[in-house]
Amino acid sequence: MSGPFSRPAQAHPHVWIDVDATMMMENDEITGIAVTWLFDDLFSMTLIDEFDQNHDRRFFDAENDAVRDNAFIALNDVGYLTYLRQNENLVDYGDVRDFKADITDDNRVRYDFVLPLKTPLDPVRDAVSLSVYDAEFYIDVAFAEMDPITFTGNRQIQCHYKMGEDEKNRIYFDLVAPLRADFICQ
């Protein structure tokens, strides 16, 4: 319905996340992604208030487990907002591992975790790309500004990436092309 006093429905993010990704390699194949998320100030404050039970500005032991079990693990349903593609097909992850939540010196919450691949990828033979986004409008997920993607464990090959818009996998009702890193390995 439209009229002189109506406006189209609009959504906006409630959470902002800066992402760093390290492509983990063995035998020059990608075997997993070590991911770091750094949350915005406001959402960080919410997490700290809820999960830092002893108020020491750190998440240790049971607190870390509570963050993982209550604020993180449900993101499995959306691939942890991390979309790795091999020849344009989404890659399946194994069970997330090595989850650690912490609070930075400037009071922002940081998550570190590993997404192991079910099957290693050959980035020389196949077209491999990585995107980070939430298709629901509520979380603004973006690559960090400085060196958002690194490679570790590669021995015989050199890898880098080229950022661009992912026109093939548009989001938000086909209105937005998310940022995508295409890997170039040789």
Residue 17: predicted pLDDT: 97
Q: Give me the pLDDT at residue 172, please.
A: 87
Phi, psi angles (nearest 5°) of residue 142: -145, 150
- Alpha-carbon distances of 129 from 50, 62, 90, rounded to whole Å: 36, 36, 10
pLDDT in tens, the chain (186 residues): 444 444 444 455 789 999 999 999 999 999 999 999 999 999 999 999 999 999 999 999 999 999 999 999 999 999 999 999 999 999 999 999 999 999 999 999 999 999 999 999 999 999 999 999 998 868 999 999 999 999 999 999 999 999 999 999 999 889 899 999 999 999
DSSP 30-66: EEEEEEEEEE-HHHHHHHHHHH-TT-SSS--THHHHH
The span from the CA of 95 to the CA of 118, in Å, is 9
Contacts of 130 (CB under 8 A, 6+ apart): 21, 23, 33, 82, 83, 84, 85, 149, 161, 180, 181, 183
Show the beta-strand stretches assigned E in 55-178. 82-86, 89-90, 97-103, 109-121, 128-132, 139-143, 149-152, 159-165
- Taking the whole predicted model, whether its pTM rises above 0.75 is answered as yes
Q: How far apart are CA 7 and CA 34, in angstroms?
A: 42
